[in-house]
Amino acid sequence: MSSSISWQSRDESSRNVCPPCIVHQRDERSLEIDDQDSIHAAAAFPVDSEGKHITAADSKAYLEEVITCWKTEAANMKETIESFVAEIHAYSAWHEALRNTISTLESTAKELRTELPSATDEYTKIIQTNLEQDIAHAKLDHAELEQTITSVLTKIHGLRAAHEILHKQIVAVEDAIQELCAQC
Encode pLDDT of 151-170 as tens digits: 888 888 888 888 889 888 88
Provide the strand spans (E) within the chain.
Answer: 5-14, 23-33, 37-47
Q: How far apart are CA 101 and CA 89, in angstroms?
A: 18
85-to-50, 77, 79, 89, 166 alpha-carbon distances in Å: 39, 12, 10, 6, 114
Confidence of residue 35 (pLDDT cuts 50, 70, 90): low
Per-residue pLDDT tens for 88-106? Answer: 888 888 889 988 899 899 8
The larger pLDDT score, comparing residue 120 to residue 71, is at 71
Question: pTM for this structure?
Answer: 0.35
The residue that leads in pLDDT, 70 or 31, is 70
Look at 100 and 51; give whichever has higher pLDDT. 100
With a CB cutoff of 8 Å and minimum separation 6, the contacts of 25 are 11, 12, 13, 14, 44, 45, 46, 47, 51, 53
Do the bridges between strand 37-47 and strand 5-14 make them parallel or antiparallel, or are there none, so unpaired? unpaired
Q: Report the share of the chain in percent with pLDDT over 90.
A: 1
Phi and psi (nearest 5°) for 103?
-60, -45
**Alpha carbons 71 and 65: distance in angstroms, whole number:** 10
C-alpha to C-alpha distance for 85 and 76, rounded to whole angstroms: 14
Q: Are 3 and 33 in contact (CB under 8 A)?
A: yes
Amino acid at 3: S
pLDDT at position 1, please? 42
In the predicted model, what is the mean pLDDT of the chain? 75
What's the pLDDT score for residue 64? Answer: 80
Using CA atoms, how far apart are residues 88 and 82, in angstroms rounded to an integer? 10
